Amino acid sequence: MVGTSAEQTLIKADELRARLGDVVVLDCRFNLADPGAGARAYVDGHIPSAHYLHLGRDLSGPVAAHRGRHPLPPAADFAARMARLGIDRNTPIVAYDDNRFAFAARLWWMLRALDYREVRLLDGGLAAWLAAGSGLDTGTPSPTPVTAPVVGDYRGKLDMQAVRRAREAGAQLLDSRDAPRYQGLEEPIDPVAGHIPGALNLPWQEASDAEGLALSPQAQRERLAVLPADRDVVVYCGSGVTACVNLLALELAGYRGARLYPGSWSDWCSYEENLEELA
């Protein structure tokens, strides 16, 4: 299980500053409690040349009875959105947020799942940029659109029925939410508390330190050692967003092939047959 090196997945603030003219920077800041906060923060100041992507409008599709609170947008629509920003599959991309990869990792996973080749995350996010003495900009860049690539569906995504089949085939589910939500002690968002039976819990915040810097590959491996070495891994959270931070952790640790359940708990608990299993 040899994965992509940390150097190919993360970028430090000093290196980004030196490469600003060579990469497209994407600001993914968002607040689930205040969906407009990220866009307002972008207007107030962002890394120079960065474009803003909104979790609901750009990184999610229409919400329906099922598929969860933040379903993936149709792949062709997402590729077209990237093309309008001048991004094709060979464009060097750096994404950041201000919340320990919570939203930038979602973008990272989406791009990687559609075979965009050079996608990196700013280690430590906006705080690391500022701590390195780098300034912010308030201008809005004008991209040069490119032709959108022809894309298939997101590689490594599973819907609810596919998750049930994977579980029956022996896959290990990994719940990325806070422990109280996993344990069913509280549920501030979804209508039902609990977790998918058989899932292990590794809260996504533990993939980084208090400063928002990703743990070392060795520390990621130690944290993920609870996962059975001989089983496929399916990762989920509340709505398929912060689960991508654990997918990032798996990548940094050298694990390949872990899959995402984008609908996550918000989709799982929308099916009556799943609720019967919880009873």
Which sequence positions are flagged as catalytic? 237
Q: Cα 195 to chain center, whole Å?
A: 20
* Residue tagged 């058989």 (tokens): 198
Rounded to whole angstroms, what are the CA distances from 248 to 211, 213, 256, 269? Answer: 17, 12, 10, 25
Nearest to 238 by CA among 270, 210, 263, 209: 263
Q: For residues 20 and 48, is the Cβ–Cβ distance under 8 A? A: yes
